[in-house]
Amino acid sequence: MIIRRIPMDALQKGVYKILTTHSLDVPVYDDVPHNTKMPYITLGAFTCKNTGNKTTDISDVSLQVHIWSEYAGKTEVNQIANDVTALLTSWPLDLSASGFNVMSRDVNFFEAFPDDGGGYHGVLTLVCKIQNKGVTT
């Protein structure tokens, strides 16, 4: 019997590492410090659905990446979203230290809209198929 695990903590750490290691000039936060200047990125809502069977623990997951900008137009948000998409789809997302294998990944959705306080807010959705390679009994 396999012991099922949810890969969300490992995925968030992996995404954070990619976004902060590979020349993205926009800070990434889990908890945004008070008085932080925009633009910046936060990791948002996620979903995790088991799609394995009795002998495999595979999950389809999604993770939202939020992009915040004070710029009144869409240009800055779109440019940052393009850079984030390029990074998340080209650099290895290695979760092996946590006992997970990323079987596939892609950015499947992006939207941008005016923020109530001025500027723009973009939401990019990363989707992955992740297999738990960890403990079995």
Q: What is the percent of the chain where pLDDT is above 70?
A: 97
CATH code of residue 55: 3.30.2000.30
35 phi and psi angles, rounded to 5 deg: 65, 30
28-29 and 40-50: which strand pairing?
Answer: parallel
The pLDDT, as a whole number, for residue 115 is 87
Which whole number is the average pLDDT over 79-102?
95
The C-alpha atoms of residue 5 and residue 20 are separated, in whole angstroms, by: 26
Give the structural domain span for 94: 8-132
Taking 60 as the threshold, does the pLDDT of residue 137 lie above it? no
Is 22 part of a structural domain of the chain? yes
7 phi and psi angles, rounded to 5 deg: -85, 15
Is 88 part of a structural domain of the chain? yes
The C-alpha atoms of residue 18 and residue 9 are separated, in whole angstroms, by: 14
* Least confident piece of the model among 92-96, 112-116, 129-133: 112-116
Is 28 part of a structural domain of the chain? yes
Taking 80 as the threshold, does the pLDDT of residue 135 lie above it? no
Is 137 part of a structural domain of the chain? no
- Dihedral (CA of 16, 21, 25, 27) sign: positive
Taking 70 as the threshold, does the pLDDT of residue 41 lie above it? yes
Count of domains observed in the chain: 1
